[in-house]
Structure 1
Amino acid sequence: MMNMVDRHTSLQNAIEQELREHDADVFVHIGDRFDDLLRYLTHFSGPDRDYAFVYANGRSVLCAPRLFGEQARREFIGDLVRTHRQQVSSPPVARAVETINEFTTTNRILVPAHVSYHSVSSLEDDFEVITTSSDFGRAQKTTWERNQIESVQTVAQHGMARAEAVLADASIHEGAVHWEGELLTTERLRREVNAVLANHGIQDAGNTVIGAGTSCSDLHFTGDDEIHADETILLDISPRGKSGFYADLTRTFVVGEIDTWTRAAYDAVREAQDAAFSALESGAGIEAKTVHEAVSAVLYDHGFAVGDVSIGMYHGTGHGVGLSLHEAPSLSRDEVLKEGHVITIEPGVYDPEKGGVRIEDLIMVTQSGYENLTDYSRRLAPSTR
């Protein structure tokens, strides 16, 4: 397992390589706690206002607000933490410039392409600024990162199990689903899931998506909808763990009778996911889009359209998961899957008038195949077994 010292060394090597490719001497990143690349480079979960990271002359430095100094020294995996008062007259850019000038006499620095215009403009007062879109190896997860994701996925499965248990225990009255004597809604079910996540110290991060019937066709439904008998109930649980890594899990259930459309959709989606797994059996080196093509072929065979459609599958087969819920690679693009990529496999089909079905597992690409980080049954009828 890669420890923090090894991870720091790996990041240094990635930054050094990027500097060589751009003929630059210093790397600078300025952002806040919501910048996932900055968190990846520093392991610091910092404040919701800007701070700076500088890599110069073989040393990595975190310039953090003084009030966050203790936290920065505890979390930062680099070499040096410098604290400063958070004042308008002493912005992060100024701290970065001071650090650069102390460690080197360079005039050429590298920054991520998404750094704010204001920060870049300020840096250009003193340096020639080059931008990069590199993820610094972030998409290929280390053993430590993979374990962090799997641990959150395990908690997501606990949340799913709670939702399934509620649905299995529910009853039907005049076409509506009731639980513990009251009408069951997507919001009540969401609260049951999120309580489990919270009990495990995991944040739902506003990503517990639950649709019922027609709202299943809304891929990010977090509203309050009544749950009725014989309709699809789609649960997409994507919490975030203490170390910042996400998980992603989706299952679909029906309380009551399963109609012809739902059965056909579910069988197609399940077969499509199996086709994706088969495509991944060769492991690292395959083109990502071949996985999406395998899924699409199955869905077409079952009579469901794929792409820019109103009925069928109108999203990609999967995406990377890490410090961002959606990150590289995308299974719909011309990318090569590499060892350590953690991706979702989530085929689905939807009809705005009938409902929606999706099944989603989280897997890691290996050199010789893949490892499924999900261990949860695929079934339509909710059960506590």
Structure 2
Amino acid sequence: MADDSRTASGEPDARTSGQDAPAASWPDQPSTDYEFLEAALAETGTEAFVHVGDRFDDDLRYLTRFSGPDRDYAFVFVGDAGDGDEPTTTLCAPALFEEQAEREFPGDEVRMAGVGDPAGERACTVLDDALGGDGTVLVPQGIPHDAAVYLERGGYELRSTSAVADGRAVKTDEELDCLRRVQRATARGMARAETILAESTPEGDELYWEGAPLSTERLRRQVNATLAGYGVRDAGNTVVGAGPSCADLHFTGIDDIAPGETVLLDISPRGPHGYYGDLTRTFVVDGDGGWERRAYVAVEAAQRAAFDELNAGAGVAASTVHEEAAAEIAAYGFSVGNEPGFTHGTGHGVGMSLHEAPSLRADDALQAGMVVTVEPGVYDSTQGGVRIEDLVVVTEDGYDVLAEYPTHIVPRKR
């Protein structure tokens, strides 16, 4: 396993060193290598690639590294056209954002001409300058309809491509630095929650912490405050379930926390460069060792089985990781594919989106640099839910956990 006792800047990590201060400054903004677009154009015999969207489009943010605003803008990549010229990349930035675009965009040109025109029309202008109003252009499936209409009216044939999603699946060293830092901050949020649970005391049918009943919302607020202190935002993704609500995979509501029931925390904040963390642990305060203990043992065994499969490193089929985890769950007497039991896949890719390629249910071989969750779980809407999740990067000869965090059903002060 990787040694995650230090931050990307070389300073000791607060969680593992015992320090109680936020980590140092973030790594630099990752650049984007556009070679995958060159390869896509060459493979399809097309001349250019265009995408249009806003700050909420993760593909566009990956392509441009531009973090705003919530108005459409365009990215245009024009290939060498076989004439020996280098490919060019252009960001058609929105009005009032030229300075930010110049600072963040790693490509060739930030173009401000026509800022009052629709983004699709501005992309056409860039294509016209390079291609003269004729050619075939690759676009992602999610390009806005109006942008596609402008391109087609401009004389360009459109062809759909998954090149961006495929390119995002394998992370660079710069991206991994960002993911590690976000995951370390995520671990700090988990440590805060675990400490609060460890400090809580049963009083009748409720848990009390600092003189008041402990609810999922109260615990969530504590987690989110800790995340903010470490430079990441919760992005509305802090899941805290208690008892039956643990079987709701994305529960963000309010529920009282009682002694003896499972408390499931799935923390997945977003860092300043747009990359996510993802970490899940399940705890029980004052448990009696019943259903929750059996489920916990099964989930621990399933995660170990998945890790054993990942030990093969690059080249292992993603689906075999899921199959081994599911087989272990079944061996402990829990159903697979139904509720109660193991109701979801063992993992998914994480990067600029919280859920992206690859899926651990796919038959494709995993590649070095892919970042995936490993998160088996067992759920029963009448009992509770148990999930354990870690974020790992696939290497040539195995995997590395991006930020270690202990696994215990009984919470401890961290």
| 2:89 counterpart (60, 67, 85) | 60
Matched, 1:346 2:368: no
Contact 1:66 1:84 in 2 (8 A): no
CA distance in 1, matches of 2:348, 2:135: 38
Which runs of 5 or more residues in structure 2 are unaligned?
Answer: 1-7, 9-26, 81-86
Contact 1:255 1:382 in 2 (8 A): yes
Deviation of 1:66 (Å)? 2.0
CA distance in 2, matches of 1:64, 1:138: 22
- The match for 1:322 is 351
| 1:214 counterpart (238, 244, 247) | 244
Contact 1:65 1:84 in 2 (8 A): no
CA distance in 2, matches of 1:334, 1:33: 32
| 1:120 counterpart (145, 148, 157) | 148
Deviation of 1:49 (Å)? 1.5
CA distance in 2, matches of 1:121, 1:140: 32
Sort the Cα spacing of 1:156 and 1:6 in 2 relative to 1 into closer, same or farther, 3 A.
closer
- The match for 2:336 is 306
Give, as a single letter, the amino acid of the residue that structure 2 aligns with 1:369.
Answer: G
- The match for 1:19 is 41
Deviation of 1:103 (Å)? 2.1
Using the size of structure 1 for normalisation, the TM-score is 0.95
| 2:126 counterpart (99, 113, 132) | 99
Secondary structure, aligned partner of 2:287: coil
Contact 2:182 2:276 in 1 (8 A): yes
Contact 1:29 1:112 in 2 (8 A): yes
Runs (4+) off by over 6 Å:
3-6
- The Cα offsets for residues 89-116 of structure 1, whole Å up to 9 and x where unpaired, read as x111121111111122342211112112
Sort the Cα spacing of 1:163 and 1:352 in 2 relative to 1 into closer, same or farther, 3 A.
same
- The Cα offsets for residues 127-167 of structure 1, whole Å up to 9 and x where unpaired, read as 11111122251100001101100100000000000001111
Contact 2:188 2:226 in 1 (8 A): yes
Contact 1:234 1:357 in 2 (8 A): yes
Deviation of 1:86 (Å)? 4.8
Deviation of 1:84 (Å)? 4.6
Sort the Cα spacing of 1:15 and 1:5 in 2 relative to 1 into closer, same or farther, 3 A.
farther
Secondary structure, aligned partner of 2:311: helix
Secondary structure, aligned partner of 2:42: helix
CA distance in 2, matches of 1:111, 1:52: 11
- The match for 1:270 is 300
> Once the two structures are aligned, what percentage of the paired residues are identical?
51
Deviation of 1:200 (Å)? 1.3
CA distance in 2, matches of 1:174, 1:5: 51
Contact 1:238 1:325 in 2 (8 A): yes
| 1:231 counterpart (250, 261, 265) | 261
CA distance in 2, matches of 1:5, 1:315: 33
Give, as a single letter, the amino acid of the residue that structure 2 aligns with 1:82.
Answer: R
Matches within 5 A, 1:1-385: 7-8=31-32, 10-11=33-34, 13-56=35-78, 57=80, 58-84=87-113, 86-87=115-116, 90-105=117-132, 106-126=134-154, 127-134=156-163, 135-307=165-337, 309-385=338-414
Give, as a single letter, the amino acid of the residue that structure 1 aligns with 2:107.
Answer: G
Deviation of 1:384 (Å)? 1.2
CA distance in 1, matches of 2:297, 2:315: 29
Contact 1:65 1:85 in 2 (8 A): no
Contact 1:348 1:357 in 2 (8 A): yes
CA distance in 1, matches of 2:30, 2:187: 30
- The match for 2:24 is none
Deviation of 1:366 (Å)? 0.3
Sort the Cα spacing of 1:124 and 1:85 in 2 relative to 1 into closer, same or farther, 3 A.
closer
CA distance in 2, matches of 1:255, 1:132: 50
Secondary structure, aligned partner of 2:259: coil
CA distance in 1, matches of 2:319, 2:159: 31
Secondary structure, aligned partner of 1:137: helix
Contact 2:216 2:253 in 1 (8 A): yes
Give, as a single letter, the amino acid of the residue that structure 2 aligns with 1:319.
Answer: H
CA distance in 2, matches of 1:224, 1:7: 40
CA distance in 1, matches of 2:193, 2:308: 30
Give, as a single letter, the amino acid of the residue that structure 2 aligns with 1:62.
Answer: L
CA distance in 1, matches of 2:280, 2:113: 44
CA distance in 2, matches of 1:258, 1:328: 40
- The Cα offsets for residues 326-361 of structure 1, whole Å up to 9 and x where unpaired, read as 000000121210000000000000010000000000
Deviation of 1:199 (Å)? 0.9
CA distance in 2, matches of 1:108, 1:260: 62
Secondary structure, aligned partner of 1:264: helix
Contact 1:42 1:77 in 2 (8 A): yes
Contact 2:30 2:174 in 1 (8 A): no
CA distance in 1, matches of 2:40, 2:387: 39
Contact 1:5 1:77 in 2 (8 A): no
Secondary structure, aligned partner of 2:282: strand
Deviation of 1:377 (Å)? 0.5
| Paired positions, count | 379
- The Cα offsets for residues 235-263 of structure 1, whole Å up to 9 and x where unpaired, read as 00000000000010000001112332111
- The match for 2:3 is none
Deviation of 1:220 (Å)? 0.3
